Chain A
Amino acid sequence: MKVLVGVKRVIDYNVNIRVRADGSGVETENVRMSANPFDEIALEEAVRMKEAGICSELIAVTVGDEASQEVLRSALAMGADRAIRIHAEASPQPLNVAALLAALAREEAVDLVLLGKQAIDDDANQTGQMTAALLGWPQGTFASELTIEDGRARVAREIDGGQQTVELELPAVITADLRLNEPRFVKLPAMMKAKKRPIEERTPEALGVDMRPRVERVEVSEPVPREAGVRVADVDELLHKLRNEAGVI
């Protein structure tokens, strides 16, 4: 079975996000970037399938500029067999990415597209679903457990208030939720080898994908800062404030 895993380079999850003063977006210059954590979970799952003999070839793909090769190096070090970078300017939109992934999935004739459930930068949670739609394949999103048997995938999905288990026929698109697994640490010797391996390059034109954005971003702003709380002396004061200042009772 051939598996395609998408990895997006995003602002590192430990870094404080800063909105540009002019509201045009989030500051990314001189900011630490790393692989989207949900994509790492998807990748780990695929590496485990490889180790279990279920996956015969694991391809990692990213869409981005030259700097995004970095996430592919880590993917190779974690266990991907091949790495492909599809050229794009910064932050392409979910529909464009889905079109690229769908085109690549067809070209490579993969049996499974494994993605993170969402990227932590735009939190769109659309790429997996759109990829499935464009391919006409079944989808299993928010996977917290995944088993593959006889050409079928059994996916335990995290849903509001519980878990739902679905069975899909391959080929399919599956997106990883937090509890699917805990990604391994990259080993130094593997990283050393990964640095010397080739990264395949593709372009949207060659894949026949129109990269024009479909959504216009109007403004990006910081959340309203939370006002500091106050300490009340007793229940009476609390009730007084709730009634007269907050006006909630």
Chain B
Amino acid sequence: MEREQIEVDVAIVGAGPAGLATAIRLRQLAQEQGRDELSVCVLEKGPEVGAHILSGAVIDPRALDELIPDWRERDAPLTTPARDDHFLLLREQGALRLPTPRLLRNEGNYVGSLGRLCRWLGDQAEALGVEIYPGFAAAEVLYDESGAVRGVATGDTGLQPDGTPGPRHEPGVEIVAGRTVLAEGCRGSLSQEVIATYGLDGDADPQTYGLGIKEVWEVDASVHRPGSVVHTVGWPLDSRTYGGGFVYHFGERRVSVGFVIGLDYSNPHLSPYEEMQRFKTHPAIRRHLEGGRRLSYGARALVEGGVQSCPKLEFPGGTLVGDAAGLLNVARIKGTHTAMKSGMLAADAVFEQWAQASGSTGAAGVDRALTDSWVWDELRAVRNVRPAFARWGLWGGLAYAAADTYLFRGRAPWTFPHHADHEQLQRQADARPIEYPAPDGVLTFPLLSSVHLSNTNHDEDQPCHLTLRDPDVPVRVNLPEFGAPETRYCPAGVYEMIGDEAAPRLQINAANCVHCKTCDIKDPTQNIQWRVPQGGEGPIYSEM
């Protein structure tokens, strides 16, 4: 069936901080320079802006200050200034307060919900004339004869599980754009394709990732300390596994509690979900949640590779921005400001090129603008922190990070490389089994009751959006060698080994998926490919 075509000047995939900052900056320039005809269209796979956004979040407002200087007067939902940072080393018994590293000091930053900030940014963008379409997922990259990207297409809707059109079938729509901006966030499915197609990561180290699992609680006013920020290292992880927890107090009796684990962890028995549940039971964490009720649950992979793993942003016909390009500052555990700034820089370059009406698909200069900006300075300075933890574990990592920050001041003449996360898993026979405590139903919960709180949903009557390159690998390789790690690393219970011992079978409960992308990253043979399901599906986060 022929697909309808829609022409726009700039198509942006993803209404997160990077995509919306790009859109806002583009329309600001168009209005300032009397070029109101510039059309900017944002596609968002979530059912509304912010529904698929998950972040800590302690947000550095630097980019927001540059983009919308009067954001405070415009009632942006960043109303809780961060104060009293706590950096804790957790032991099984007790906790030790360490001096807060300079990079984790949050004076001037704000605690809040990135999802809510994005909804607000979406309103700002629409007021400037940006067209935002939530519920429509970009599922395919379109290329022209020269091999340059000429836009994206939304996926078909109403396909049956075998891929044939059902009674409600509607073909997707082609969004043909002068420039295509991929702002999908960490491990975006189209971004991955474009990076591979053009070899954008040819000079870069493999990307390395973390998995963040988060809950939002409503707590009693007596324990609520708005602006209080707690970061932890140590228990329940062993010192070889990179990760840590956070507790942020914000808003109306809200507490965000979460745990991030480096996806280069080696023990296939490890369950990030269970580690996160266990984390909450530590006395130093439990006291923040006492008497409260859990409101929501979610998970999302994040990029941790920094400059070493950063691909080229620009490709023929468009550019990557934000975490799709891996611009998170892992040492500061912040990526919103760098994502937004990269979007603004991309917007400047793309607007200039469009305004000159050159019609060229040549580079607009986004990479140069990025490396000349404070984003690059910031990321370069911390580039050795994350790999130091991978090399020397928690103790060596902490020691190196301190030396790097205070002695070398980020100017060490060396750069440590990254390794690929999926290659780090040990064989199950070589790894220590882990016993996790049973949930208590008050502070810790079974996985499926958590997934329920993500509000995720997918039409069962569609092709599975989690595809296996080789359908035999889960049973032939993953089960005997790694004990089916997908049944543990997935924080949404998507993967389940069923059947008896003689004939085990991997069942994929795609309807549970919270779009975190961990399976696409961590599967030991890279056999799982995450694709977008029908638009408007997936989690519905409200203040994540």
Q: Interface residues, chain A, CB within 8 Å of chain B?
A: 12, 14-16, 18, 21, 30-32, 34, 182, 184-189, 191-192, 195, 228
CA distance A228 to B439 in the complex (A): 13
**9 more CB-based (< 8 A) A-B contacts, given A187-B4, A189-B173, A192-B131:** A14-B455, A15-B542, A16-B455, A30-B543, A32-B48, A184-B168, A185-B170, A188-B4, A191-B133
Q: How far is the CB of A79 from chain B (nearest CB, A)?
A: 13
When A and B form their complex, what is the total count of cross-chain residue pairs whose Cβ atoms lie within 8 Å? 55
Q: Does B6 contact A (CB under 8 A)?
A: yes
Question: In the complex, are the beta carbons of B542 and A14 less than 8 A apart?
Answer: no
- Point out the residues of chain B lying under 8 angstroms from A14, CB to CB: 455-457, 540
When C-beta atoms are compared, the residue in chain B nearest to A32 turns out to be B540
CA distance A15 to B47 in the complex (A): 12
Q: Does B279 contact A (CB under 8 A)?
A: no
Q: How far is the CB of A157 from chain B (nearest CB, A)?
A: 24
Q: Does B157 contact A (CB under 8 A)?
A: yes
When C-beta atoms are compared, the residue in chain A nearest to B172 turns out to be A188
Q: Mark B416-435, 1 if CB is under 8 A from A, else 0.
A: 00000000000000000000
Question: In the complex, are the beta carbons of A195 and B173 less than 8 A apart?
Answer: no
Known: A18-B295, A185-B157, A185-B158. A30 touches B170 (CB 8 A): no
Q: Which of B6, B170, B218, B455 contacts A32 (CB 8 A)?
A: B455
Count of interface residues, chain B, beta-carbon cutoff 8 Å = 29
Known: A21-B218, A184-B168, A187-B170. A195 touches B131 (CB 8 A): yes
Question: In the complex, are the beta carbons of A187 and B173 less than 8 A apart?
Answer: yes
- Point out the residues of chain A lying under 8 angstroms from B530, CB to CB: none
- Point out the residues of chain A lying under 8 angstroms from B285, CB to CB: none
Q: Does B154 contact A (CB under 8 A)?
A: yes
Question: In the complex, are the beta carbons of B131 and A32 less than 8 A apart?
Answer: no
When C-beta atoms are compared, the residue in chain A nearest to B158 turns out to be A185
If over half of A's interface residues share one DSSP class (helix, strand or loop), that class is named, otherwise mixed; here it is loop
Q: Mark B504-544, 1 if CB is under 8 A from A, else 0.
A: 00000000000000000000000000000010000010110
Question: In the complex, are the beta carbons of B542 and A188 less than 8 A apart?
Answer: no
- Point out the residues of chain B lying under 8 angstroms from A192, CB to CB: 6, 131, 133
- Point out the residues of chain A lying under 8 angstroms from B534, CB to CB: 185
Q: Interface residues, chain B, CB within 8 Å of chain A?
A: 4, 6, 47-48, 51, 116, 131, 133, 135-136, 154, 157-158, 167-168, 170, 173, 218, 295, 441, 452-453, 455-457, 534, 540, 542-543
- Point out the residues of chain B lying under 8 angstroms from A18, CB to CB: 295
Q: Which of B6, B47, B51, B218 contacts A189 (CB 8 A)?
A: B6
Question: In the complex, are the beta carbons of A32 and B168 less than 8 A apart?
Answer: no
Known: A21-B218, A187-B173, A188-B136. A12 touches B540 (CB 8 A): yes
CA distance A16 to B158 in the complex (A): 26
Question: In the complex, are the beta carbons of B542 and A32 less than 8 A apart?
Answer: yes
CA distance A36 to B135 in the complex (A): 17
CA distance A195 to B133 in the complex (A): 10
CA distance A206 to B31 in the complex (A): 39
Known: A185-B157, A189-B6. A12 touches B47 (CB 8 A): yes
- Point out the residues of chain A lying under 8 angstroms from B543, CB to CB: 30
Residue pairs across A and B with Cβ atoms less than 8 A apart, 14 shown, are: A12-B455, A15-B455, A15-B542, A16-B452, A16-B453, A18-B295, A21-B218, A30-B542, A30-B543, A32-B48, A34-B47, A184-B170, A192-B131, A228-B441
CA distance A16 to B295 in the complex (A): 9
- Point out the residues of chain B lying under 8 angstroms from A195, CB to CB: 131
